[in-house]
Structure 1
Amino acid sequence: MNSRFLLPEDPSLRHAVIDVRSRVRLAMELLPDTWPMDTFIHHNPLNGLEDLSFEEAVRTGESLFKGKGYPGPGKIRESLRSGKIKLLDLEDTFERVLSPSFALGERPPFLPEMTLARFSLAQFLLSPDLPPFAPEPGDPSGFEWWNDLLPGVCRSLEELGRRADKHSLKKGLARFQALLSVEKEGKTFSLPEARTDAKDAVLRIVGLPGEGSTFSEWTDRLFGTHIHAEINSVLSDVAALYLDEGQSFWPTPGRERGFYRLIRERWATRLPALSPHPSMPKLFSMLPSSPEEAILRVLESWAIPRQEWVGLFSREFASLPGWSGAIRWRADEHAEEARLPFSIEPVEWLAIRLALESVMVGDVLSVSLKTGSSRTSLASFMQSNAKEFLLRHWRQDPSLPLSLVQDIDRLAERSLVWGQLNPYWDGVWTRAQNSRSRAFDESTRLAWAVFRAWAFWEPDGSIASWENQAVLDVMRSWDAQVPRERFGIWGLLAMEKNYRDTFLSTLSVSRKGHAALSSSRKETPTKAQLLFCIDVRSEGIRRHLEQLGGYETAGLAGFFGIPIRFKGFGSDHVQVLSPAILSPRHFLAEIHRPYEVGAVRVFFRGRRWLRWLSHLVHEMKNNIVTPYVFVEAIGWMSGLPMFGKTFLPGWYHRLVSRAERMFVPAISTTVLLDKISEKEARETVLSEERGLIRQVLIGKYGKKARSLPQNALEEFRYLVLSGVTRSPENISAETTLGRFLGLSWQEENELVRVLREDYQLRPKRSESRLEELSRMGLTPSEQVAFAETALSLAALHDNFAPLVVFFGHKSTSDNNPYESALDCGACGGQDGSPNARVAASLLNRPSVRAGLEKKGIRIPETTWFLAGVHDTTTDTFTLYDGEDWPVTHEKAIRDLVQDLHQAGLSLAGERLRTFPGSYQKDTEDISARLSARSHDWAEVRPEWGLSGNAAFLVGPRRLTRGVDLGGRVFLQEYEYTLDPSGKLLETLLSGPLVVARWISLEHYFSTIDNDVYGSGSKVSHNVVGRFGVQFGNGGDLRMGLPWQTVFDAGVSRHEPMRLLCVICAPRDKVESVLGGNLALSGPFDRGWAQLVVLDLPSGVFYEYRPGAGWTQWTQGLEKTSGEADSGQPVMERGNTWMA
């Protein structure tokens, strides 16, 4: 986060500016990054809080982002109904977590089966809770509040599969009300502070702005304004315009000056259209030239002590977490890496927000209070008018009687001059002390709690056993000590326990079964070893391929241990193909094969024409005048795309692809692996710059420029890069290029300006490109190291098959801003095929094999490495670099292609049944339907992606071979016997596991609270600036997964749980690796993930519990969740209710 603003010369001000920058950086750390949509990275929405325990982070997230963090009773009821969780699991979990803190030995007489855990479960599972207030006496709805609540209880019972008779339930509730002497007329207003000295209580109860809320939130709460929402709306709009990457037809002028300077100048003007508030021009015209000084000025005017700055800054940033996260991502040097033209520094963003807030809040306070916004003056004023401030604050309490609410509202509207209405406020204050509250009394609450316990556990039984006073006394003590705020985490623990027991039981049975089979089964020759990404979507295809026989599969992170920056053939962009936690140093490029020179010319010519045509259509559609003519002239031509993409998406896609190939033919390519020399790098830069100049000249001056001599191009290139601006005073002899084209010196100057400004042909660009080329390719030692890493991650050191295939994966969808979320997360949300091609190409090189042999890895001459990609949307495969395949392996490759097709169809049929309303008639119908989904521009759910992920298994494939894991497990290959030092295990836990944990937490929070941590429904999404989505036509950037990814028809597709990590290795090895690295053990200690070790030498499972250490897991070993035809256990799928 290097600031573009220079530090001031004054030492004291310099120190203050540095302090502001450091505290802004600390506040920003609490926010997650928001990646651009073209490289969507799954991440933990509470990533900035991972140094806290999971429960503390959830509480902080609720405060900062206003988002829920645990599954509610509705989700638990849904899981009970679908069989994903058992009531016994819930009861056991509640017993376990309650036992250390509460006296569980106390049981109510006559009800020996009733326990505190069961009583608590009834309160959790039976909705609704008692509302905070009841209708007032005389209210048209009546005071019989239970008439509104009983239907909710009935629905809850029915969701749980229990009988619910409203008449019987109503009689039972009435009986408990009578037993507990429920009051029906309310009680004295339950605000103890109303009976204390108001002057002493006001600062403690109401609080000052900046203490737990921003100034705008404080003002909105007390004065009924909407400043906070207005600020968010204004800043969202200006950020979208400033950061736009080409979506807007008219880009915002002046962006090169920087966000702070641009907004300060715009809002300082008195033109109403450019200023969102009438008081802003005066204040913004007086703002300092640097954002840090502007922040200091606002903080000084508000009298905020230094120790509260970080808290205030974090709340300001969290007001728009999506935009703030995007700004943080760009500020962390990603903007330069991605070559984004514009970025906003966090201090600029905060300075504009605080200045805007200062203006709008200051106007309200000056009009309403006739005072400034300094907290010192506000504190004094609040104490002088304590009763009014307290009553305004209590106005938000739902238990406040309606008559008081109306009195407060009437006085608030008349309080133009504070102090003059104090006698009236005193009268309201007196009435508040003697009013009847709408809040339920304790006896009513207890009656409702006991009623729910009876309705849940004994609705068909007699109520007589519950009428004993001793029973009610026990339940009264229970109700007082039950921590209802912890029900959510307990429900989560029960869900996790159920899946953990099921998965470990399955793993245990599978391990024993394979141990028995391995001693009796005759070894069959391996046709190929297939290496897939650990992605949960690879589990199904691996299983189907293995069932065909002759195939071994292994899982490793989809970048195959080769982090690279990659430029595809014909691409203008460099892809970062590695996990987000890495920053690749090596740069590789895809080039055409030598015999494709002629086709390459056709390729670039056709692409140039198509781009020109696309640009023309875009200009015609968005110009202020031409749309009317455009629609009348050729608007009818839009009918074919609309009809085809809507009704025949597969056919239309094939038609467009064929037409495009007529202009832009497919080119055979290869990846350039070898390092280029410095001389070659300089020659490449020279060639590119000359080519750029020639291309510009051809565009401006036509065919004549094609025959321009090489020396003329070089002379003019030197002039452009020299930085000299020619004029009549310093003009030398005209250039060769000028003479050749017949240009005046003014025309030459204009051409120089265009090349420098529009095409960025400057010395800095040349140096940057030269540095990039110097990193292109791999040295011989780097090639060997990458090849060794790829094989080590796959636990493949010997027994090589004739074919070894690296499969990356990608997805295919249309009109889907979240397409990259379906691609390979280990490749930065992109297609993983380049990494697969690099890995295979390296391992086929004799020099690399010789280097590996020196390291003890001997690859037979009969082994050939292939690269391919698995399209997870259509379950189809593509193999690359067929020009290099040896003749000796052609039959084996043909057999592989056939088996890939068969396995893909089998998996496709399995997946197709999970989509709502899907069916298939035959195998061809499967392929056609999935292909149609991938090209349907109205399809909101082209595939489920990683929804349903639940576990991360580090161990050998033989433990799960043949087991249907339901597409829910990340499978990382690992043989502890090949890793004596534990270094490889440390790498796996610090790399692939981190990515898997982020994926899990992204899905978890997007399921728990999709409105806050997710991105809502795709139906209302609009792409903004080509880098993000907004909900509707404005507002914050959405930072999580869409509703359609984790839900289906209101039922959650994803089961929200923390990731279960199972490591198959000796426990002492795991302890050694984790014990020496707090970064690895911390997430388990703080509860962000679950950890189980399968001690392979002994076959014992050990579960790690934070704060309690290791516990031997034994539960569930005697049972499995199902049996497949092969005799292998089958894990429950993520969407069993639709299967």
Structure 2
Amino acid sequence: MKHTVNGAPFHAIEAAITGACGKIAPLWPLKHFVAVNPFLGFSDQSFAATTATLRRVAGINMLMPRTFYRQGLIDGVIENRDLDAALAAVSHHSSSAIDMEQLRAAALREPVAGHRPRAVVATIAEVLDRLAQGDRQASRTAFMIDEISKWCAAYFDQGQSAWRLPSRRLPPYAAWRATMRHDRNPETMGIRGFRSAVAAMPDDARLAIAAVVEALGIPDRAVEDYLYRALSDIGGWAGYVRYRVWDNALHGREDDTLVELLAIRLVWGYALFLERTDPAFTAAWAQAMVDAAALPEDERLGDDPELVVDLILQEAYEAAYRRGLLERLTGHFTGPKVGSIGRRAVQAAFCIDVRSEVFRRALETVSRDVETIGFAGFFGFPIEYVPIGRTTGGAQCPVLLKPAFIVCEEVAGASDAEANRILDLRLLRRRAAKAWKAFKLSAVSSFTYVETAGLLFAGKLIGDTAGLTRTVSDPNTDGLDRQVIGRIGPRLEPRPVDGRETGFDAQQRIAMAEAVLRAMSLTENFARLVLLTGHGSTTVNNPHASGLDCGACGGHTGEANARVAAAILNDRHVRVGLAGLGIVIPDDTWFLGCLHDTTTDEVRIFGADQLPASHAPDLARVRGELAKASSLARAERALLLGIGKGENIHGAVKARSRDWAQVRPEWGLAGNAAFIAAPRERTRGLHLGGRAFLHDYDWRKDADFGVLELIMTAPMVVASWINLQYYGSTVNNRAFGSGNKVLHNVVGQLGVLEGNAGDLKVGLPWQAVHDGARFVHEPLRLNVFIEAPEEALNSTIASQAGVRQLVDNGWVHLFRLDDDGKVRRYRGDLSWEYAA
């Protein structure tokens, strides 16, 4: 093994590889697509510094165009007091002096350098593109990305292709080199000696990266930036591979796949380098290396005055929204809660998802005797849920966690013979569906299929287009009838299945139940009915459908978690154990698992047939209240969906969920801007417009502040991921989003391409943040409000590095709600001040 690269120790290139790979945010596959902070790899530096890094290294902008902020000034959305606050905030990050008059003048003109920044760290492909002077047909970058993307689609395919890549059993770098021995595409496009250049590279991926870095003469200062810049060209596939690395790390497995992908990308670029020996390219590359060597050791925003202006305007835009939110929060405060509110008729726990805020407010409007609770939608049960007929299932927990329990499905009250019959039926339908798909997609039978059977689908095409039929079957039913589906539920008893222990033992049930109830601040005054309401979405023909389900459940619906939690909390042995721990649940309290459909705002109740007869009137009443709340919530959401008052709102919303051409079946979490962890009395009756994550938290019941730490390290972090994904997809959809939904093509069952080529797309489609005329999502960093003592907050910030990075580096804005109604803002380095 080589010991030096460009005279520097080899461990220096190892560190650069680790640093570059660490800057790539993971991209979860479509089957459990979840929101991810696209700037995750830059958490150790400030938001402001990252805007400069991405502009300098990769030519990527992460702020809105100047015209957006200018319109905010013209419309009066941004006021002088917001500009003042922004000038003070940015002064901490920039040495560039600018006053109010200069700022307003700059806001009224276009940036001197233009809208699209140019990367200082240039790759070989980019230098070649510059020499091509914009000729798209001569773009080496586009061709290289297309070729790498095609190969990745074949190598990582999860069952979409009928023919598998022969070398996919090899590690990626070795498999790619094996493929390139026979691939003449690059040479056909004029890249002479491509195959021989690849064959001449070292067999080891790290040694290949080191060899390229040395051959290109990349300055030591720029090596990590260059490697990251190279990966950003194939950021979608790099993101998917980073997910694989992330997932393997959760299970204690090492994974070098991202390093191998980096080697593929660098060797591709090196082959382009060897092709050109002309003076024009030689001079251009030499200048690129001079520019790279002159990079500063840290980010100096003053070096880019136009960036400073845009950053101040972004801060002012955020200050304007925050000003209005603070006024509403403080104006709504009526003093601290004194004494107990007593026992309610119904308690309903919902996910903290912003879509739940609308339904909770509607339900509380319908009945004053309903108490709603906000909690992470997996209800504290990190499970792997295994459907009948499968040996593995999906992780029903936040992606930050590893499932701690395995729960299998069973058919309630079924004999072994009946259970086996249902299992056989489900497996038969799955095999039939798989065989039919193979027949339709195979190279020969596909033509026969279209010629002979195409016209038979005319009726279905008409019905689907008119919204008269469901365009696809529910994947969770496998064709089973509603009665059978209603009997399928979680099996909680411990039992080994395929060598793995499933279910919960007695002590595990008690421990989990206690943890969940204390985390919800629900330890007394239990209602007769307690609804644990997970959520999911109903859409068709939507590759990103799982992104509308519950992020707290790993991109699945919350049904399984809600039903497991309800079953355990109804267990009489668990209740005896809880009583010994100081949590007494009355005998007449029943927990029910429910599912809130965020597209139609309907709520389905599970296990109602197990309620005692004495609770029939309670159940009838709560069904009626849920129906009224559903109607109110639909009416509110309909306005944003463009459904008029004269229409049948329920029918129109339902039709959107069944329409295979609908690009906006619902708005998901668009508009999210705040996270509030406090007793519900702080926000009950306050119209937050479906823009706030609401987590119930009473610090007075949190003796050691363990729940506070849990909230700040899990739900708050997940909410920031969601917020920053929406932020990135709004400010720069080309880099951080997935483009036009109408042009999406699913590849490898993993992700989508925009069109038929290019890199795997990341983030959200344009239609998730824009309605065609205006932005529905505003690019705002998350405003976090927590009611807790300052010392407890500081203790958590000081002890949790990830939390400290979020709040000290300005990725979220943190506020503390005082008992006297005042609000204090976190200013970094464990210091606070009263918010203006």
TM-score (norm 2): 0.89
* 1:320 shift after superposition: 1.2
Amino acid at match of 1:238: W
* Among candidates 298, 313, 316, match of residue 491 of structure 1: 313
CA displacement, residues 778-836 of structure 1 (integer Å, 9 cap, x when unaligned):
23222112111211121111111111111111111011111111111111111111111
For the 8 Å contact 2:593–2:606, the answer to whether it is kept is yes
**CA 1:630/1:653 → structure 2, altered by over 3 Å: closer, same or farther?**
closer
For the 8 Å contact 1:268–1:280, the answer to whether it is kept is no
Q: Partners of 1:977 and 1:272 in 2: how far apart?
A: 67
**CA 1:267/1:860 → structure 2, altered by over 3 Å: closer, same or farther?**
same
* Among candidates 378, 383, 387, match of residue 559 of structure 1: 378
CA displacement, residues 233-266 of structure 1 (integer Å, 9 cap, x when unaligned):
2111111111111112222223112322222123
* 1:651 shift after superposition: 6.5
**CA 1:889/1:1009 → structure 2, altered by over 3 Å: closer, same or farther?**
same
Amino acid at match of 1:642: L
2:422 equivalent to 1:508 = no
| Number of equivalences | 815
**CA 1:545/1:596 → structure 2, altered by over 3 Å: closer, same or farther?**
farther
2:43 equivalent to 1:50 = yes
TM-score (norm 1): 0.66
**CA 1:588/1:345 → structure 2, altered by over 3 Å: closer, same or farther?**
same
2:707 equivalent to 1:988 = no
Q: Partners of 1:568 and 1:523 in 2: how far apart?
A: 41
CA displacement, residues 920-945 of structure 1 (integer Å, 9 cap, x when unaligned):
447xx222211111111100001001
**CA 1:21/1:832 → structure 2, altered by over 3 Å: closer, same or farther?**
farther
Aligned to 1:324: 238
* 1:664 shift after superposition: 10
Q: Partners of 2:475 and 2:248 in 1: how far apart?
A: 35
Q: Partners of 1:91 and 1:657 in 2: how far apart?
A: 52
* 1:572 shift after superposition: 5.7
Structure 1 range deviating more: 1059-1068 or 938-947: 1059-1068
For the residue of structure 2 that corresponds to 1:857, the secondary structure is coil
Aligned to 1:1112: 834
For the residue of structure 2 that corresponds to 1:670, the secondary structure is strand
CA displacement, residues 37-61 of structure 1 (integer Å, 9 cap, x when unaligned):
1111212111100100110112112
2:260 equivalent to 1:348 = yes
Amino acid at match of 2:834: Q
Structure 1 gap ranges (5+): 1-7, 105-114, 134-205, 391-479, 686-769, 1116-1139
2:624 equivalent to 1:898 = yes
* 1:1057 shift after superposition: 0.9
**CA 1:579/1:360 → structure 2, altered by over 3 Å: closer, same or farther?**
same
**CA 1:543/1:29 → structure 2, altered by over 3 Å: closer, same or farther?**
same
CA displacement, residues 1034-1082 of structure 1 (integer Å, 9 cap, x when unaligned):
1111111111111112311011111111111233332333344443233
**CA 1:1082/1:103 → structure 2, altered by over 3 Å: closer, same or farther?**
closer
For the 8 Å contact 2:360–2:372, the answer to whether it is kept is yes
Q: Partners of 2:420 and 2:350 in 1: how far apart?
A: 36
Find the structure with the greater CA-based Rg. 1
* 1:132 shift after superposition: 7.6
Aligned to 2:359: 541
Q: Partners of 2:414 and 2:183 in 1: how far apart?
A: 64
Q: How does 1:174-573 map to 2 (within 5 A)?
A: 212-222=121-131, 226-269=139-182, 277-304=191-218, 308-334=222-248, 345-365=257-277, 367-368=278-279, 483-512=305-334, 526-549=344-367, 550-571=369-390, 573=392
Amino acid at match of 2:226: L
Q: Partners of 2:706 and 2:585 in 1: how far apart?
A: 23
Amino acid at match of 2:816: V
Q: How does 1:75-90 map to 2 (within 5 A)?
A: 75-79=68-72, 85-90=77-82
Q: Partners of 1:961 and 1:636 in 2: how far apart?
A: 56
Q: Partners of 1:914 and 1:663 in 2: how far apart?
A: 33
2:444 equivalent to 1:625 = yes
Aligned to 2:298: none
Q: Partners of 1:581 and 1:495 in 2: how far apart?
A: 31
For the 8 Å contact 2:342–2:525, the answer to whether it is kept is no
Q: Partners of 2:794 and 2:250 in 1: how far apart?
A: 41
For the 8 Å contact 1:36–1:326, the answer to whether it is kept is yes
For the 8 Å contact 1:94–1:117, the answer to whether it is kept is no
Aligned to 1:1094: 817
**CA 1:586/1:602 → structure 2, altered by over 3 Å: closer, same or farther?**
closer
2:758 equivalent to 1:940 = no
2:782 equivalent to 1:869 = no
For the residue of structure 2 that corresponds to 1:1029, the secondary structure is strand
**CA 1:288/1:12 → structure 2, altered by over 3 Å: closer, same or farther?**
same
* 1:993 shift after superposition: 0.2
Q: Partners of 1:27 and 1:116 in 2: how far apart?
A: 37
For the residue of structure 2 that corresponds to 1:529, the secondary structure is strand
* 1:842 shift after superposition: 1.1
* 1:98 shift after superposition: 8.5
* 1:628 shift after superposition: 3.2
* Among candidates 765, 770, 783, match of residue 1042 of structure 1: 765
For the residue of structure 2 that corresponds to 1:1022, the secondary structure is strand
Aligned to 2:296: none
CA displacement, residues 344-388 of structure 1 (integer Å, 9 cap, x when unaligned):
8123212222222222211112x55798x9x9xx86xx89xx9xx
For the 8 Å contact 1:670–1:881, the answer to whether it is kept is no
**CA 1:663/1:825 → structure 2, altered by over 3 Å: closer, same or farther?**
closer
Q: Partners of 2:788 and 2:99 in 1: how far apart?
A: 40
**CA 1:116/1:264 → structure 2, altered by over 3 Å: closer, same or farther?**
closer
* 1:523 shift after superposition: 6.6
**CA 1:654/1:43 → structure 2, altered by over 3 Å: closer, same or farther?**
closer
For the 8 Å contact 1:507–1:960, the answer to whether it is kept is yes
**CA 1:122/1:599 → structure 2, altered by over 3 Å: closer, same or farther?**
farther
For the 8 Å contact 2:90–2:312, the answer to whether it is kept is no
Q: Partners of 2:315 and 2:786 in 1: how far apart?
A: 20
CA displacement, residues 112-165 of structure 1 (integer Å, 9 cap, x when unaligned):
xxx9414421330x34456889xxxxxxxxxxxxxxxxxxxxxxxxxxxxxxxx
* 1:1083 shift after superposition: 1.5
**CA 1:523/1:233 → structure 2, altered by over 3 Å: closer, same or farther?**
closer
Amino acid at match of 1:852: L
**CA 1:1056/1:240 → structure 2, altered by over 3 Å: closer, same or farther?**
same
For the 8 Å contact 2:79–2:320, the answer to whether it is kept is no
Amino acid at match of 1:93: A
For the 8 Å contact 2:540–2:660, the answer to whether it is kept is yes
CA displacement, residues 287-307 of structure 1 (integer Å, 9 cap, x when unaligned):
333323333333343344666
2:579 equivalent to 1:827 = no
Q: Partners of 1:570 and 1:984 in 2: how far apart?
A: 37
Q: How does 1:789-828 map to 2 (within 5 A)?
A: 789-828=515-554
**CA 1:603/1:102 → structure 2, altered by over 3 Å: closer, same or farther?**
closer
CA displacement, residues 648-701 of structure 1 (integer Å, 9 cap, x when unaligned):
24566799999944699535123222333xxxx3xx54xxxxxxxxxxxxxxxx
Amino acid at match of 2:644: Y
Q: Partners of 1:897 and 1:663 in 2: how far apart?
A: 20
Amino acid at match of 2:444: V
Aligned to 1:607: 426
Structure 2 gap ranges (5+): 292-301
Q: Partners of 2:692 and 2:566 in 1: how far apart?
A: 26
Structure 1 range deviating more: 599-608 or 22-31: 599-608
The percentage of counterpart residues that share the same residue type is 31
For the 8 Å contact 1:98–1:117, the answer to whether it is kept is no
* 1:31 shift after superposition: 1.0
Amino acid at match of 1:534: I
Aligned to 1:1118: none
2:738 equivalent to 1:919 = no
